[in-house]
Structure 1
C-alpha cells in the first residue's frame, strides 16, 4: 500500500472518530428544543425527515402525469465494459420496444469479450451498431461519440444490464415536447441479501431522501443511464464531461445551472442487476461518492466564477447537502450512548421504524417479494455514511479515476 493510500486511510479513521465524537458531545444539533434531550430530538427529527420524505415520494407516484406518446426516433446508447455476459439484456429489450430506435453499443478497445458479444448482437439485430470508444477508459466520451454519430434528435443512455419494457419509449418521449431531459427510475433486482441492501440503499438515498431537496431547490437528478434527452440538452450542457468520475452527477448539475428542464418519472422503471458482493457494493459506491466529491470541488469553482448567478450557489448547496448529509449520519450514531445514559434508548427505534415503513412501501410498489431482508435496511445508513467519509479522504489524498467493474452474470 502506498504512502498516499495509508495517509487517506488514517484520515478516514480520524474523520470517523471525530464525527462520532461530535454526535456524542452536546451542542451538535442545530435545532435544539427546550426541555427535550438533544440526543432524543436528533433521533426523532431524523425519523420525521424519513417519514416526510417517504410521504412526498409516495405522493409523486400517485400524482405522476402521463403524456401522449410521440413517434420521434431515438438513438439508444449502451456503453459497455466487461459486461459481455449481460449485454444481451439491454440490447434485446431495446430491440423489442414498440418504437423506432437505433441502438449503438459503445465498446472499449481492451475489452475483447465485450467487442465480440456486441458484434454478435449487431449481427442478430438490424437496429444495432457497434462503436469503439474513441477515448478509452471513460464512459462519458463513449456516450458523447455515439451522440455525435447519431442521426436522431433524441437520445437514450442505458447500462448493459438494464432491461426496458416494450412501451418504455411510448411512455417517455411524449414528455420531451415540454422537457429537455426525462429521467426514469432504475430499480436494482433484490435477488439476495447483498442485492437487497443495494436495492434499499438506492431507493432511500437515490430517490426517497432527495425529495425535500428537490422540492425546495428545483434541482433534479439526471444520470447516464435510464435517461432520455434531446438535442437541446446536449447543446446547453455540452454533453457528459469525460474528466469527471461521476459524469452523471456532474451532468445533473450542469443541466440545473443551464436551466435545462428535467422531468423525473418514478412509475416508469428500468430493471437492472445489483452488486452481488459487499466488496463490489462498497467499491462501486465509493467510486461514485469520490466522483461526487470531485463534482463538489467543481461547484465551488463555479460559484466563485459566477457570483452573480443564483443557481450556482443553490447547486453548491445541493452538493454540500448530498455529501455532508451522508457523513452527518455518523453523528446520529454517536448519540446512542447518550440515549442509553438517559434511559431513552427506545427513541433510537423511531428512525428504524420509519425506514422499515418506507422500505416495505417501496418494495411493494416495485412488486418484489418482501422476504426478510428488509430487516437489514437500517444497516445501509451507517455504511453509506462511512463510504461518504472515505470518498472525501480518498479524493483529497489518494484520488484515482480508473474504471471499477462489478461482477455480473446470469
Structure 2
C-alpha cells in the first residue's frame, strides 16, 4: 500500500479529532520522515483509520552517503518547526525550547518568559524552616573535610583540592538562576569538571613532588589523593545542594489541580508480586487516574491474576517483546496528560501520585519527575546495603541534580512523564537494556527539565541473595554503559547545558573512573603499608570513613529514615562497595570485548 494514502488518511483523522492527537502528530512526523514505526503504532493506525496496513515499508532510507558534506540541507530538520516569536525556521543545530505548547529559539524564549514573568513557588507561599540538624551536619561535613585536607595533607595539596572547590562554587552560583536549562549552541568542548578530574593526578603529582616526597612514595599518594579529590568535590557540591533541594521541596504547595494520570504497569512473569502492585495503585489517593496493565507474553499466571481486576483497571496482553515494547503498547491506550510508569514489583505510597504530579507544577518545562524508591525487603546484609545505597544516592546525589533540573535516571519503578514531551521524544527504544535511563537522557538532550520528588514514595523488592544481586546489576551496568556510549556526543556539546557540564560527566566518573580508582587505590594502600607509610594510609582511610558516615547520617535525616541503618554505612566503604566496583569493571570489560548484553533479573520473593 502506498504510504501517501496512510499519511492522507491520518491527516483527515487529525482534522476530525479521531484518536489521540499527540499520538497522531507523532506518527505523522515519523511517516513524513520515512522512519520505522513499531507494531503497536501500526495496530493503532489500523484502529483509527479503519483499514488494514500491509506491505508498507517504514524503514528509513539510507541516503546519507549520497549527500555532500557541504550540503546544508543535511543539518536542517526535515520537518521544519518555526519559532513562534521571530517566525523563522529553527534549524537542527540551533537550541530550541518549548513554552506554553509553542516552540522558540533559545534567544527568543528568554525575552518571552521575561515578559510573561511566570510565578515560581517561593518561601512566601508556604512557611518552612530549615532543619537545624541538617544544617549542622552539612557544616560539620564541610569543616571536617577542609580541616583534614589542610592539617593532614598540607597546604599545597589543599590548593589542588581548592580548584575543585572553585568549580563547585561555579555550579552552585549557576543553580540560583532559572529552573529551566539555558542551553545555548556553541563549539564542541568537553566538560571543565571532567577535564579537571581526569587531569588532577598530574596536578597532585606536581604538588607532592614540590612538597619534597620521594618518588617511591609519590605514586601511592597520588592515587589516594586523586580519590580524595573526587570525594572532596562531590561532598562540597552535593551536600549543600541536597539541603537546598529539601528546603525547596518543603516549600511547594499542595497540588491544586488533578490532571488525568495514566499509570502503565509492564509485566513479564510477575505472578508473585503483581497482585500487591495493583492493589497498592487502587488504594492510592488520586481522584483522576486510570491504570493500564500490560502483560508482555508472560508464561506464568501473571495475566490471569491481573484479569481479576479487569473491572477496575484496563488489562492488555501482547506477545513477548521486552519491557520497552510493553511500555509503548500501554501508552497507545493512555488518555492522561501525565504518564506514570510503575514496575510490576513496586508498591507505591498512598499519596505518591499527588506528590509526583506536584513536581510538574513548578515549571512547564518539567518533562519528567522521578519518585523516591525504597527497598521494602530489608531482611539481610545484601538487602540492607541496597536500602542504604538507595537512600544516600537519592537524598544526596540525586537531590543535587534536582537543583539543576538534570536528573539523569527517572526510574522505571516509579517515574512520571508529561505525555506531550514523551511523545515528542519518541517511543521507548530497544537499543539498550535500560530503557528508563535512555529515555531520560533523550528528554534532557531536548533541553527539558527532569526533577525528583522524595515524597512520592515507592517500595520495591530488592535482590535478597548475592546471586540475584549480581544478575540485576549485570543488566543495569551493561545497560548504563550502552546509554553512555549511545549519548556520548552530549559529553562534548555545550548546547546540552547541565547534562554536558555536570550530570553526564558525573555518571561517566561514577561508572567508569571511580571503580578503576577504587581498585588501584586499594592496591596502593596495601603497597603503602608495606613501604612503611601505614600512618598516612590510616589517616586517608579515616577521612573517607568519617565523611561517609556523616553524609549517610544526613541522608537518613533528610529522608526521615531509620537511624539504625547507619550501622551498615561502613559496608558502603568496605565490602559492598568493592562488589559494586568489581561488577562495574566487569561490565566495562564486556563492553570493550563487544560481548552481547542480555536482560537479566532477580527472582521474585513476593513478600
TM, length-normalised to structure 2: 0.57
Local SS of the residue matching 1:180: strand
**2:258 is equivalent to residue 66 of structure 1:** no
Once the two structures are TM-superposed, the CA of residue 55 in structure 1 deviates from its matched residue by 4.3
CA distance in 1, matches of 2:521, 2:422: 41
58 and 383 in structure 1: CA distance in 2 versus 1, 3 angstrom threshold: farther
The answer on 1:262 being equivalent to 2:457 is: no
Instruction: Tell me which residue corresponds to 2:414.
Output: 226
When structure 1 is superposed on structure 2, of 108-117 and 50-59 the one drifting more is 50-59
Q: Structure 1, residues 56-112: CA drift from partner, whole Å, max 9, x if none?
A: 324422332424412112111111223211112221111112212111122121332
Closer, same or farther: CA 31–114 of 1 in aligned 2, 3 Å? farther
**SS of equivalent to 1:345:** helix
The one of 368, 385, 394 equivalent to 1:181 is 368
Between 1 and 2, higher relative CO (CA 8 Å, sep ≥ 6) is seen in: 1
Choose the corresponding residue for 1:373, options 551, 568, 578: 568
Give the aligned partner of residue 128 of structure 1.
313
1:162 aligns to what? 346
Distance in 2, Cα, partners of 1:248 & 1:409: 24
Cα gap change, 1:277 to 1:58, in 2 (>3 Å) = farther
SS of equivalent residue, structure 1 residue 112 = coil
Residues 1:198 and 2:383 are matched in the alignment: no
Shifted more, 306-315 versus 34-43: the winner is: 306-315
Residues 272 and 604 in structure 2, CA contact (< 8 A), matched pair in contact too: no
Return the offset for 1:147: 0.9
Pairing 1:300-315 to 2, within 5 Å after superposition: 300=488, 302=489, 309-310=495-496, 314=501
CA distance in 1 between partners of 2:231 and 2:381 (Å): 24
Instruction: Tell me by how many angstroms 1:253 deviates.
Output: 1.0
Shift of 1:322: 3.8
Residues in 1 aligned to 2:561 and 2:404: alpha-carbon distance in whole angstroms: 30
CA RMSD of superposed structures (Å):
2.9
Q: Output one character per residue of 1:326-376: Cα deviation in whole Å (capped at 9) or x when no partner.
A: 423323323312442313122212112222222233335342361543342
Deviation for aligned residue 1:224: 2.3
Choose which of 523, 526, 546 in structure 2 pairs with 1:337. Answer: 526
1:29 matched to 2:215: no
Change (3 A) 1:279 1:128: same
Could you tell me which residue of structure 1 aligns to residue 279 of structure 2? 92
The answer as to whether partners of 2:398 and 2:407 remain within 8 angstroms in 1 is: no
Q: Choose the corresponding residue for 1:56, options 230, 236, 241.
A: 241
TM-score by length of 1: 0.82
8 Å contact 1:222–1:252 — kept in the other structure?
yes
Once residues 323 and 351 of structure 2 are traced to their aligned partners in structure 1, the CA distance between those partners, rounded to angstroms, is: 27
Provide the rounded CA distance (Å) in 2 between the counterparts of 1:265 and 1:210: 10
| 1:361 corresponding residue in structure 2 | 554
Cα distance in 1 for partners of 2:504, 2:568 equals 36
Separation (CA, whole Å) in 1 of partners of 2:506 and 2:328? 26
Q: Is the 8 A contact 1:43 1:350 kept in 2?
A: no
Q: Which residue of 1 aligns with 2:461?
A: 273
- CA distance in 1: counterparts of 2:269 and 2:551, whole angstroms: 35
- 2:436 equivalent in structure 1: 248
Preserved CA contact (<8 Å) 1:180 1:233: yes
Secondary structure class of the residue paired with 1:259: coil
Deviates more, 1:360-369 or 1:85-94: 360-369
2: distance between equivalents of 1:358 and 1:268? Answer: 22
Pairing 1:108–2:108 present: no
Q: Check conservation: 2:285, 2:354, Cα contact below 8 A.
A: yes
Q: Counterparts of 2:289 and 2:402 in 1: how far apart (Å)?
A: 31
Aligned partners of 2:303, 2:603: CA distance in 1, in Å? Answer: 18
CA distance in 2, matches of 1:132, 1:326: 42
| Residue 350, structure 1, aligned to residue 538, structure 2 | no
CA contact (8 A) 1:67 1:171 kept: no
**Distance across 2 between alignment mates of 1:393 and 1:294:** 13
Structure 2 distance, partners of 1:46, 1:219, is: 20
Shift of 1:246: 0.9
**2:596 alignment partner in structure 1:** 399
Deviation of residue 255 (structure 1)?
A: 0.9
Alpha-carbon distance in 1 for matches of 2:322, 2:402: 29
The structure-2 alpha-carbon separation of the partners of 1:181 and 1:253, relative to structure 1 and needing over 3 Å to count, comes to same
1:237 to 1:186, Cα distance in 2 relative to 1, 3 A: same
What is the CA-CA distance between 1:396 and the residue it aligns to? Answer: 3.4
Task: Give the distance between the partners of 1:158 and 1:272, measured in 2 at CA.
Answer: 10
Q: Give the secondary-structure state (helix, strand or coil) at the position aligned to 1:195.
A: helix
User: How has the CA–CA distance of structure 1 residues 59 and 140 changed in structure 2, closer, same or farther, with 3 Å as cutoff?
Assistant: same
Aligned to 2:222: 38
